[in-house]
Amino acid sequence: MVTSRLLMCLPAIILTIFARPAILTYTLYDIASDRVCTPMGRRGIVVTLTGPLLVKESGRLLGNWTGDHNFSCRWEVEARGRGVGVVAVIQRLRLREQEDCIDHVRFQEYGTSDSTEHICGSMLFGDPTNRDLNFPSPTIPPLLSTTPPTTPPSSGPSHFMNITKWRVLASRGAAIDPEGELKTYIYVANRAFEGDDTLQMVVAYTSFLECDGSSVPSSLFHCGYGLCISRLLVNDGVINCPFGNCLDEGSCEQAKQLHLTVFPDGGATGGGGVAARIDDQAPPQTTPMARPQSQGSMSTGNQDTFSVQLADLREQFADISQKNTAILKEVAVVVNKMADASLMQAEAERRSAENEKERNELLRELIAMAKKTHCK
């Protein structure tokens, strides 16, 4: 009876444990990580609908570039789940250029023999900027309106043509791979930095589903052309939509004014309670993305109170996570015990059947001996 009740409760327990998180976490990789730009970094980095990634150059590899040799690196991001694709959007970029690119970043989608164009210069949110990271003109319209088309690009006669259709739609600093296996390449030339030369790069990787943009589930957000991301990524301080209009953060100008980007000199700024989990040689840690200040912002005293409350909430969240882990272990123990009990019951039934068979054979032998004795 207890076992049957436990089995009835298991779905509810598991749903409670794996309920959608209130605080979304980006896993942050430095290109110096052993998962990215080292001989060991050939493994795919996994991204999910609610588990986005950030890859950045923090200066550990290329901060003081002497130009003694060329530097090149490749990493692959793989989407987890059936029918899930990968979107890459350059959040911030400064790579050297003259008439052509000196250094560059490029993307390559699954199954293609070529890659996207070489990307260099200065960029925010997938869109080109000047060296001061200002857009050329705030009046330049985005690639996609605030009421984008609702259906994916029509299918071409070949896989390559399907990829090309997505390439045309993405902004210059973004890539879309519907197959969910996107490669990224970075190249730095054998030329030392001069003057104010610097190298900055932050790329966000997001999983997406193709959807009907005219009827979007409440758990998803429509970026345009039938490309949907998790609604938890909206207004979180990172641009996830790849079409150049920063729709998931309102607009690119609004995002820039609110500093909704991840800066290479430390943590990140932006709202929405997002955290970045560092995945590197050091143990993972959670770094909050602080909400940007604007006119009419909180006073210092209120900020301190808010910080204390936020710290308390983080501690409570960590405590709940630990409890959920403990409950999950208990459920696993119970399930294992139930499985062991089922095996023991099956073994007992098998032995009982064998004993019954042996008993019947002995009984037949006794009857036969009794008949022989009676006859004599």
Tell me: do 100 and 177 sit in the same domain.
Answer: yes
Assess if residue 6 is contained within a domain: no
Query: Comparing C-alpha atoms, which of 92, 171, 105, 100 is closest to residue 132?
Result: 92
Q: Is 261 helix (H, G, I), strand (E, B) or coil?
A: strand
Structure tokens at 44: 């795919």
Tell me: do 261 and 306 sit in the same domain.
Answer: no
Tell me: do 340 and 371 sit in the same domain.
Answer: yes
Structure tokens at 345: 């019951």
Assess if residue 204 is contained within a domain: yes
Q: Domain range for residue 325?
A: 298-376
Structure tokens at 266: 């430390």
Q: Which of 297, 331, 349 is the last residue of a domain?
A: 297
What is the per-residue DSSP string for 152-185? PPPP-SSHHHHHHHHHHHS-TTEEEETTSEEEEE
Q: Are 246 and 255 in contact (CB under 8 A)?
A: yes
Backbone angles phi, psi at 184, to 5 degrees: -125, 135
139-165 residues labelled b (16+ CB within 10 A) or e (exposed): eeebbbeeebbeebbeeeeeeeebbbb
Assess if residue 8 is contained within a domain: no
Q: What pLDDT, on a 0 to 100 scale, did the predictor assign at position 8?
A: 56
Q: Which of 297, 330, 357 is the last residue of a domain?
A: 297
Task: List the Cα angle 110/108/260 in 5-degree steps.
Answer: 115
Give the C-alpha separation, 260 to 235, whole Å: 9
Q: What pLDDT, on a 0 to 100 scale, did the predictor assign at position 264?
A: 43
Assess if residue 4 is contained within a domain: no
Structure tokens at 217: 């589930």
The letter for the amino acid at 364 is R
Give the C-alpha separation, 167 to 180, whole Å: 14
DSSP H or E run through 203 = strand 200-210
Give the C-alpha separation, 124 to 201, whole Å: 10
Tell me: do 232 and 310 sit in the same domain.
Answer: no
pLDDT in tens, the chain (376 residues): 545 554 555 554 454 444 444 557 899 999 888 788 866 545 689 999 989 999 999 888 888 888 889 999 999 999 988 889 999 999 999 999 988 999 999 999 988 877 788 999 999 998 888 887 787 765 444 455 556 777 777 655 555 555 667 888 889 999 999 999 999 999 999 998 888 888 899 999 999 999 988 889 999 999 999 999 999 999 888 999 999 888 998 888 777 776 544 444 444 433 333 455 545 443 333 334 433 333 344 444 444 444 445 555 565 566 667 667 777 777 777 777 777 787 888 888 888 888 888 888 888 888 888 887 776 5
Tell me: do 74 and 216 sit in the same domain.
Answer: yes
Tell me: do 268 and 358 sit in the same domain.
Answer: no
Assess if residue 376 is contained within a domain: yes
Tell me: do 174 and 100 sit in the same domain.
Answer: yes
Q: Which of 280, 297, 314 is the last residue of a domain?
A: 297
Give the C-alpha separation, 298 to 221, whole Å: 30
The Cβ of residue 277 has, within 10 Å, a number of other Cβ atoms equal to 15
Q: Is 119 helix (H, G, I), strand (E, B) or coil?
A: strand
Structure tokens at 196: 């104010």
Tell me: do 229 and 275 sit in the same domain.
Answer: yes
Pairing of strands 45-47, 286-288: unpaired
Backbone angles phi, psi at 207, to 5 degrees: -80, 150
Tell me: do 253 and 317 sit in the same domain.
Answer: no
Assess if residue 17 is contained within a domain: no
Tell me: do 270 and 141 sit in the same domain.
Answer: yes
Assess if residue 256 is contained within a domain: yes
Instruction: Read off the CATH number of the domain in which 181 is found.
Output: 2.60.120.290
Q: How far is CA 290 from the centre of its chain?
A: 20
Give the C-alpha separation, 120 to 7, whole Å: 57
Total count of domains within the chain: 2
Q: Tell me, yes or no, if the pTM score tops 0.75.
A: no
Assess if residue 2 is contained within a domain: no
Give the C-alpha separation, 268 to 116, whole Å: 28
Q: What pLDDT, on a 0 to 100 scale, did the predictor assign at position 43?
A: 64
Tell me: do 257 and 308 sit in the same domain.
Answer: no
Tell me: do 141 and 271 sit in the same domain.
Answer: yes
Q: What pLDDT, on a 0 to 100 scale, did the predictor assign at position 78?
A: 94
